[in-house]
Copies of this chain bind each other. A is one copy, B any other.
Amino acid sequence: MKRVTIMGGILAFAMVAAVATAGPFGLTKMSDKSQECIECHKKESRGLYQMWGSSKHYRANVGCYECHAAEKSDPDALLHYDNTISIIVSPKDCARCHEQEVEEYLGSHHSKAARILGSLDNVLAEIVEGNSDFVTPGFPEGNSAAAVNGCWQCHGSQVKVLPGGTLDPATWPNTGIGRLNPDGSEGSCSACHSRHSFSVAQARQPENCGKCHMGPDHPQLEIYNESKHGIAYHGNKDKMNLDSPKWVVGEDYWAAPTCATCHMSATKNQPVTHDVGMRISWNNRPPVSVRPEVSDAKMGLPGKNVPWQVRRQNMNDVCLNCHNQSWIDNFYTQYDGLVDLYNEKFAKPSGQLNSLAKAAKELPVSFTHEADWAYWELWHHEGRRARHGAAMMGPDYTHWHGTYDVAKTFYTHYVPALKELIEEAHDSGDAGRIQAAEALQAKLDEVLNSDNHKWFLGKMDPEEAARRKKAAEEFKARYK
């Protein structure tokens, strides 16, 4: 939306006025336009009106019109009684008052979440799980309802405006964090700052992040809840001072850290940031973990110039509020060790096998062979769980939902599926597939005979095997 002129004017004036009258930050009075909106909406949308009434916006005289006003030339301008408004308030709109927050956010992966077009997630939702039968006014060729109700709700839709300024139902309601807005901006502040109370306390709570950061492929909320951090939070929520404008760990609260504490909020040395990647030293999203500056570079984000060591130092500064340096150093040694184990034992060989498997398959299409599914869940679900579990110290997720599931999938699902694939290729009589199968077989032999996997072939070193047998027998005698 190009409301900068008109609205910027209003706010600029207000700021001056506020200063002039020594009033609080915000507008000196509610605008007539907003008063007009309220007349009706306090009857028709009582809950919404009251939520706004409980917000800092209300106290600052920022009403309906201040955020929803639009210019007639805006792509999503809508005539609502006598007023030109737009339904969506985009980050560009919020930036008129919250400029720095939006800027930080636009530098983060969060704002790019809708760029999953073309990813395997998308193939799943559009082809495997879905079809194109969800036809809406704006999409006569259809969408997949699995994408609309699933992926897009977290990642964001590409909002389509219908004639008259209403929004296409395939693309809205949608508060996906990377939403592509009619005004060309990326993102949705209300993904985390829920309308219309915009409660900072809520935004600081772990449940808020759990809208998206949960479930089989990235159970951060579940891991947090299992961790000592989460336990302390749930045990001391009333001591967290969550409503405080200033919220410096160790100063305004100390009972527990939430997601925000570690990844975003202020310490005595660091200001709050809306770029959530600035304190993480691994990006555990891809099949093989990479350093965050590597993934930032691939997306063209400014973080490409911020090496992981700097980010780890940022996090270290948070940790120091409750842990000493040797604790933190040792923790990172443990965490790095788990990432290495996953990367080296499972992720890299599995990925290499997957590349070789493609040419041996009957069909080039993804998810048409059991081996595709196995590899997908190994890295996208289970491998992430293991790494996120270690990152946040949730041992059950690290192990039972993590490395245990990775290993189970590898040995009982992926390897057998690859063997079957090799057999199918040989049976096909197709020279290309047979050649591919031979390469795959050679790689599989190499992997299974490596130090990491040879136990599965019964080739453990005799000494090691003897030592283990003895320990197992002692255990059985004692503890069965």
- 7 inter-chain pairs at a CB distance below 8 angstroms, sorted by A residue, are A44-B320, A47-B249, A115-B475, A118-B474, A149-B335, A205-B231, A211-B227
Give A1 Cβ to nearest chain B Cβ, in Å: 18
A354 at the interface (CB under 8 A from B): no
CA distance A407 to B249 in the complex (A): 45
Give A169 Cβ to nearest chain B Cβ, in Å: 4
A29 at the interface (CB under 8 A from B): no
Give A436 Cβ to nearest chain B Cβ, in Å: 16
- Which one of B133, B149, B199, B365 lies within 8 Å of A344 (CB-CB)? B133
Give A235 Cβ to nearest chain B Cβ, in Å: 3
Give the residues in chain B near A249, CB-CB below 8 Å.
46-47
CA distance A48 to B154 in the complex (A): 36
- Which one of B167, B207, B298 lies within 8 Å of A231 (CB-CB)? B207
- Which one of B225, B368, B402, B458 lies within 8 Å of A207 (CB-CB)? B225
Whether A154 lies near B207 (C-beta < 8 A) is no
Whether B235 lies near A211 (C-beta < 8 A) is no
Residues of chain A at interface, number, CB under 8 A: 144
Give A170 Cβ to nearest chain B Cβ, in Å: 7
A299 at the interface (CB under 8 A from B): yes
Question: Which residue of A144, A146, A457 has the most chain B CB atoms within 10 A of its CB atom?
Answer: A146
Whether B344 lies near A51 (C-beta < 8 A) is no
Whether B51 lies near A322 (C-beta < 8 A) is yes
Binds B, one of A123-131, A270-278, A307-315: A123-131
Asked, given contacts A118-B474, A136-B333, A399-B149, whether A373 binds B216 with beta carbons under 8 Å apart, the answer is no
C-beta contact mask, A350-380 vs B, less than 8 Å → 1, else 0? 0000000000001111011010010000000
A426 at the interface (CB under 8 A from B): no
A236 at the interface (CB under 8 A from B): yes
Whether B326 lies near A154 (C-beta < 8 A) is no
Give A346 Cβ to nearest chain B Cβ, in Å: 9
**CB-CB contacts below 8 Å: A233-280 with B:** 234-236, 239, 249-251, 254-255, 268
Asked, given contacts A217-B400, A234-B207, whether A322 binds B150 with beta carbons under 8 Å apart, the answer is no
A180 at the interface (CB under 8 A from B): no
Asked, given contacts A128-B411, A455-B365, A471-B118, whether A145 binds B341 with beta carbons under 8 Å apart, the answer is yes
CA distance A228 to B251 in the complex (A): 30
Whether B460 lies near A365 (C-beta < 8 A) is yes
Whether A451 lies near B131 (C-beta < 8 A) is yes
Binds B, one of A11-19, A69-77, A89-97, A390-398: A390-398
Whether B344 lies near A48 (C-beta < 8 A) is no
Give the residues in chain B near A87, CB-CB below 8 Å.
326
Give A116 Cβ to nearest chain B Cβ, in Å: 7
A173 at the interface (CB under 8 A from B): yes
Main secondary structure of the interface of A (DSSP, over half): helix
Give A418 Cβ to nearest chain B Cβ, in Å: 15
A56 at the interface (CB under 8 A from B): no
C-beta contact mask, A131-145 vs B, less than 8 Å → 1, else 0? 101101000000011
Give A221 Cβ to nearest chain B Cβ, in Å: 9
A106 at the interface (CB under 8 A from B): no
- Which one of B127, B153, B324 lies within 8 Å of A393 (CB-CB)? B153
Whether A199 lies near B333 (C-beta < 8 A) is no
A439 at the interface (CB under 8 A from B): no
Whether A476 lies near B118 (C-beta < 8 A) is yes
Question: Which residue of A170, A327, A399 has the most chain B CB atoms within 10 A of its CB atom?
Answer: A399
Which 7 pairs across A and B sit closest by C-beta, in order of nearness? A150-B399, A118-B475, A46-B250, A202-B235, A118-B471, A153-B395, A145-B337
- Which one of B128, B166, B322, B455 lies within 8 Å of A47 (CB-CB)? B322
Whether A48 lies near B321 (C-beta < 8 A) is yes
A25 at the interface (CB under 8 A from B): no
Given contacts A128-B455, A149-B334, A210-B231, 19 further A-B contacts (CB under 8 A): A46-B321, A47-B249, A117-B471, A118-B472, A123-B468, A123-B472, A129-B407, A130-B341, A146-B341, A146-B403, A149-B389, A151-B399, A169-B331, A172-B327, A199-B235, A207-B225, A210-B226, A214-B226, A215-B396
A7 at the interface (CB under 8 A from B): no
C-beta contact mask, A322-352 vs B, less than 8 Å → 1, else 0? 1110110111011101101100110000000
A305 at the interface (CB under 8 A from B): no
CA distance A87 to B131 in the complex (A): 55
